[in-house]
Amino acid sequence: MTAELDKTRIPQHIAIIMDGNGRWAAERGRERSFGHQAGVDAVRRITSECSRLGVKYLTLYTFSTENWNRPADEVTALMGLILSSLEEEIFMKNNVRFRMIGDMDRLPAEVQTKIKNLEKRTEKNDSMTAVIALSYSSRWEITEAVRKIATEVHDTQECPEITEETVTKYLCTNFMPDPELLIRTGGELRISNFLLWQCAYSEFYFCDTYWPDFDEEALHKAIIDYQGRQRRFGKTEAQVEEEVKSVK
């Protein structure tokens, strides 16, 4: 399937909702934590493959603000798994920079420290940026952006012009472009409060494969599907075709 990929049209930013760990484990008669551990292995291989293909940003939805409502023992296990899986090796080996988006203050102190250290140690890596959405939700992010804008207005006693660019500037994703491709594994057909602002014109790809089974071939299939679409951004098909001709 790799041969079918158009290497000139690899999406520069891929976002993934990694769903299905718990169901994958249940089908094997194991605890949910077993599925989350298998999901870490999928993160390693997909991070490596995206870097190899030339993707510049990979954003992984790891733990939402709503996930804090899960049973306490599962949350504790997830935090422990996140702490142990934030390994420098996968990022340094692939020249990948690590960044996190989300409500850092809600995370355990040792997780916060590990994240800050990893961000610092990988800040010069420039092959790809791997972004972990942790204690994140889009409504939280947009609410925080509005609060910051309002605070700035209050402090300066001036009301700046509020544009799309203004809002984008105050989002925690302001350092990267919007995702061209959003993938959700596990068979669910929703985006679960993830990058709502940024995904206004993203191409969505849903598959039944549980995240622990999502491999390089599955990633290629998603990208090939993306490459077969025409991205119009509100324009007509004829307009887009004319623009493509003019570029050629």
Report the distance separating Cα 38 and Cα 32, nearest Å. Answer: 10
Given the residues 41, 67, 105, 215, the one annotated as active site: 67
Residue 177 near residue 12, CB atoms below 8 Å:
yes
According to DSSP, the β-strands at 128-136 and 181-184 are unpaired
Given the residues 19, 21, 94, 178, the one annotated as active site: 19
103 is catalytic: no
215 is catalytic: no
Residue 142 near residue 173, CB atoms below 8 Å:
no
75-99 b/e with 16+ CB inside 10 Å = b?
eebbbeebeebbeeebbeebebbbb
Residues with a known catalytic role: 19, 67
